[in-house]
């Protein structure tokens, strides 16, 4: 069974630029999550999708972050414009009913 | 609100020694508890989970954890450390079985180093 795929794996941008991350969940997994993991901290949930609907986006900074999950499969997380404090690893996870399975993450560096 | 506290951001043990990583939780409802491991430049992998079926939970790679309600703890142990155990370990709590109904709240993580 293929795992959760994410791309790119690494991205370096300057502040005020925009960036997008892509996630392909495990086939058949209805629930998809985006987490932000700042260096030295545990992952923090940004947004949760159930199929293509948003379940929880209470911790998503909506003035600069946006996410979508078209057709209930792949998802894209966008930051526009980026700030220095957005430097982090962005993890995507998916679940069918129980455990969450995580992708390898995208490491974003904002300079 | 739920929270997790991991005592010790860095733990170092010798190969073959006991591994003990501490986790205390706060939850107003019966919690579901998880331990994840993260190797460098990789995502998180589930080690084990507590879902109220048994207080002593066995996971992969020889790890186990014991749920102690009176101490609000869920410490992770392994009798004998191996070099391949060097990684970062995260404790997490959920008010649901980590599925679509609940979110995971993670601790800050404990980096385990294993000395030869």
Q: Give pLDDT, residue B102.
A: 62
Predicted confidence band at A96 (pLDDT cuts at 50, 70, 90)?
confident
Interface of chain A against chain B, CB under 8 Å?
Answer: 4, 9, 30-31, 33, 40-45, 48, 50, 55-56, 91, 93, 95-105, 107
Tokens of A24: 């392909």
The phi and psi torsions of B83 (rounded to 5 degrees) equal -55, -35
- Taking the CA of residue B23 and the nearest CA in chain A, the distance in Å comes to 13
Residue of A4, A42, A109 best to disrupt the B interface, most CBs of B under 10 A: A42
Contact between chains at B100 and A55 (C-beta distance less than 8 A): yes
| Cβ–Cβ < 8 Å for B57, B66 | yes
Three-state secondary structure of A29-67 = CCEEEEEEECCCCCCEEEEEEECCEEEECCCCCCCCEEE
Could you read off the pLDDT of A19-66 as tens digits, one per residue?
Answer: 999 999 999 999 999 999 999 899 999 999 998 899 889 999 999 999
Q: Give pLDDT, residue A9.
A: 95
The mean per-residue pLDDT over the stretch B37-60 comes to: 90
Output the CA angle B110-B24-B111, nearest 5 degrees: 5
The mean per-residue pLDDT over the stretch B18-47 comes to: 90
pLDDT over 70 percentage in chain A: 98
Contacts of B42 in chain A (CB under 8 A): 104-105
- Concatenating the DSSP letter of every residue in A80-102 gives SS--GGG-EEEEEEEESSS--EE
CB atoms within 10 A of CB B35: 26
Tokens of B59: 């996971």
- Concatenating the DSSP letter of every residue in B29-67 gives S--EEEEEEE-TTS-EEEEEEE-SS-SEEE-GGG-EEEE
Could you read off the pLDDT of B24-38 as tens digits, one per residue?
Answer: 999 877 788 999 999
Sign of the Cα pseudo-torsion (B9, B64, B33, A3, in order): positive
Q: Give pLDDT, residue B96.
A: 60
Contact between chains at A91 and B43 (C-beta distance less than 8 A): yes
Predicted confidence band at B98 (pLDDT cuts at 50, 70, 90)?
very low
As a whole number of angstroms, the distance between CA B35 and CA B23 comes to: 9
| pLDDT tops 90 at residue B114 | yes
């Amino acid at each position: 069974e293929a795992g959760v795929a994410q791309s790119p794996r690494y991205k370096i941008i300057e502040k005020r630029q925009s960036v997008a991350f892509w996630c392909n969940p495990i086939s058949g997994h209805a629930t998809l999550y985006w987490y932000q993991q700042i260096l030295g901290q545990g992952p923090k949930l940004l947004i949760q999708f159930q199929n293509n609907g948003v379940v929880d986006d209470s911790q998503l900074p909506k003035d600069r972050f946006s996410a979508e999950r078209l057709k209930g499969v792949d998802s894209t997380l966008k930051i526009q414009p980026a700030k220095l404090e957005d430097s982090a690893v962005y993890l995507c996870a998916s679940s069918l009913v129980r455990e969450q399975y995580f992708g390898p993450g995208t490491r974003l560096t904002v300079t | 609100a739920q929270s997790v506290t991991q005592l010790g951001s860095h733990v170092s043990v010798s190969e073959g020694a006991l591994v003990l990583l501490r986790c205390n939780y706060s939850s107003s409802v019966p919690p579901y508890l998880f331990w994840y491991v993260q190797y460098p430049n990789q995502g998180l992998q589930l080690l084990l989970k507590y879902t109220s079926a048994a207080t002593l939970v066995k996971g992969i790679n020889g790890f186990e954890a014991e749920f102690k309600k009176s101490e609000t703890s869920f410490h992770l142990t392994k009798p004998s450390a191996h070099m391949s155990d060097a990684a970062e370990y995260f404790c997490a709590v959920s008010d649901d079985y980590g599925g679509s109904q609940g979110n995971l709240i993670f601790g800050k993580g404990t980096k385990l180093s294993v000395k030869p």
